[in-house]
Amino acid sequence: MGIRAEVVIVGAGPCGLFQIFELGLLGIKAHIVDSLSQIGGQCSALYPDKPIYDIPAILVCGAQELVHRLEEQIKPFDTRFHLGQEVVELKQNDDGSFHLRTSKGTEFNTQAVVIAGGVGSFRPRPLRLKSIEKYEGETLNYKVQDPEKYRGKNVVVLGGGDSALDWALELSEKASSVTLIHRREEFRAVAASVSKMKALSKVDGTKIRYVIAKVKGFAEKDGGLTGLEVESLEGVTHTIDLEELLVFYGLSPNLGPIANWGLGIERKQIDVDTEKFQSNIPGIFAIGDINTYPGKKKLILSGFHEAALAAFAIQKRLHPDEKQYLQYTTTSPIMHERLGVSGTLD
């Protein structure tokens, strides 16, 4: 029948993580699922090294640092993480509880669901060449699972963002050669990585080089992927040989299965009220970038507020007959116990 959970949170971005904290303060344990293999949502996947300036009381904080801080903050609570799996199914049972199933077959039965799915599940933007997908997971990959796979190989890396540059630089220490192919002169990656890559490519006997060209096709031999056909800015076509191909064209968000769960959706966002941040289905809440209501602003700060109010609404749903109190973390002994702190500054 699957895992029995008080609450299941779909999405481990900053808002899903803070939802764990707000529930934990009220003594409610959560399971959290994310299709990515890491927590942090957009902060970790899209801009880990960029500074954020509008988190209350923190002058400046790197996006990945914010995720680490949130992770630290929820440590006292016994959270179960289910990463690298997408929630593909959400159904209401006859008794009003919910059944969820993930792409890895993990099943949950729960009284409440919080959808903190941001802009949807992230998937790598694919290399659009007819039939090249047959090499996916073998010669063609969208992430580096084990850098050792590339030792002594001729590697081609596609893309102009941070992931492409970072991996091209890192793998150049292991690979026989690394060729970075980008379609234009301007790179999106941080300037320091671009300068480093360009400088290294000029060193005699270097293993790294970069090519400005459009990918037009691929070459095969004996059932294996052996090269990419590229066209330079001047229109000259040639083939670049390879043994391994890594594509970093960024991640594209996709609302995915969430669209099929019977929720009121407006322009790819879930309609919620502003008292509980509950959807049209009682017991299913939505916080963070995934929700919409009059005046909604897609800010981390807004998602944090939504998480706090959703937690109170979930407490009421789980314990309808209990009186609800607003307690301060400064003075509440039960909250100190849950947080594992003494309640004094020493």
The binding site for ligand FAD (CB under 6 A) comprises: 10-16, 33-36, 41-43, 46-47, 52, 54, 86-87, 116-122, 256-258, 288-290, 298-301, 303
Closer by beta carbon to ligand FAD, 47 or else 312: 47
User: Shortest approach of ligand FAD to residue 315 CB, angstroms?
Assistant: 21
Which residue of the chain is nearest ligand FAD when measured via CB? 118
Closer by beta carbon to ligand FAD, 51 or else 147: 51
Task: Report DSSP state, residue 29.
Answer: -
Picking from 138, 146, 136, the residue whose alpha carbon sits closest to that of residue 167 is: 146
User: Shortest approach of ligand FAD to residue 137 CB, angstroms?
Assistant: 20
> Cα separation of 296 and 274, whole Å?
10
Q: Is 285 helix (H, G, I), strand (E, B) or coil?
A: strand
Task: Report DSSP state, residue 205.
Answer: T
Closer by beta carbon to ligand FAD, 178 or else 270: 270
Cα–Cα–Cα angle for 110, 32, 254, nearest 5°?
Answer: 105
Closer by beta carbon to ligand FAD, 25 or else 287: 287
User: Shortest approach of ligand FAD to residue 76 CB, angstroms?
Assistant: 20
Closer by beta carbon to ligand FAD, 22 or else 34: 34
Closer by beta carbon to ligand FAD, 35 or else 179: 35
Closer by beta carbon to ligand FAD, 123 or else 149: 123
Tokens of 184: 């234009």
> Cα separation of 113 and 131, whole Å?
39
Q: Is 5 helix (H, G, I), strand (E, B) or coil?
A: strand
User: Shortest approach of ligand FAD to residue 17 CB, angstroms?
Assistant: 7
Torsion of CA 77, 103, 299, 159, to 10 degrees: 120
User: Shortest approach of ligand FAD to residue 250 CB, angstroms?
Assistant: 11
Give the residue ranges of DSSP H helices in the chain: 14-25, 41-45, 63-73, 162-171, 191-202, 300-318, 333-339
Tokens of 258: 């969430």
User: Shortest approach of ligand FAD to residue 68 CB, angstroms?
Assistant: 15
User: Shortest approach of ligand FAD to residue 53 CB, angstroms?
Assistant: 6
With 0-12 CB in 10 A as exposed, 13-18 as middle and 19+ as buried, what is 346? exposed
